[in-house]
Chains A and B, each alone.
Chain A
Amino acid sequence: KQEVTQIPAALSVPEGENLVLNCSFTDSAIYNLQWFRQDPGKGLTSLLLIQSSQREQTSGRLNASLDKSSGRSTLYIAASQPGDSATYLCAVRPWGGGSQGNLIFGKGTKLSVKP
């Protein structure tokens, strides 16, 4: 059974710092991995999607990497800003012959960036 773990559960950093959020998964048979951001009481905003054949994806100040063999992904945020404060969720889509429709989520890392 696929399990996704995110460590740490919460992180507080001063503005301007570069930071890394970690995600690990138990089964390397994944189709893709997606990082999301969730603001309090809101839905999820997709940040980056990495296909199983890819090693990393970049968007602006964000860079996500994927190492399937070790069951790990990292989300790197450069030059953090107070507006980056949110909960960051990692989710994997299991491999299974086409869309299985379901993402398996970690519990998230709550990030707080202090001015």
Chain B
Amino acid sequence: KAGVTQTPRYLIKTRGQQVTLSCSPISGHRSVSWYQQTPGQGLQFLFEYFSETQRNKGNFPGRFSGRQFSNSRSEMNVSTLELGDSALYLCASSLASASGGQYSYEQYFGPGTRLTVT
């Protein structure tokens, strides 16, 4: 079974531009979460989508948005890029189903998209 895939793997953008990142979850996984990783802040949660609905959101400005399609693929968009948006953006998928009466929610991560804003 294929893992989580993210495209593109690398991006270089200029301040003020916008960018769209894509994530394809593991087949059958309905939950997709996005995280930002920087050397200073570490890994921080952006948002989670489940069945095309945003179910949870982290503490990021409204310039960061996302969506999920009916096939569970997800995109995140960052508008009006700032230098501080340079980071590794990671997508994770989860089956989010019960086994033995307890939900697992084990998350599987993709390789990430390295965004550099100049």
Contacts and interface: CB of A to CB of B under 8 A. Distances in A.
Given A31-B105, A34-B106, A102 B112 contact: no
B106 A49 contact: yes
A101 B56 contact: yes
A93 B102 CA distance: 14
A98 B31 CA distance: 12
Interface in B66-118: 88, 90, 92, 94, 96, 102-112, 114
Given A36-B109, A42-B112, A46-B109, A99 B45 contact: no
Contact of B114 (A41, A51, A53): A41
B109 A43 contact: yes
B28 interface: no
Question: Chain A contact residues (Cβ within 8 angstroms of B): what range?
Answer: 20 to 34
Interface in B1-38: 4, 6, 31, 33, 35
Contacts of B43: 89, 91, 103, 105
B4 to A, nearest CB: 8
Given A43-B111, A89-B43, A107-B42, A102 B58 contact: yes
Contact of A99 (B4, B94, B110, B111): B94
Interface of B: 4, 6, 31, 33, 35, 42-45, 47-48, 50, 55-56, 58, 88, 90, 92, 94, 96, 102-112, 114
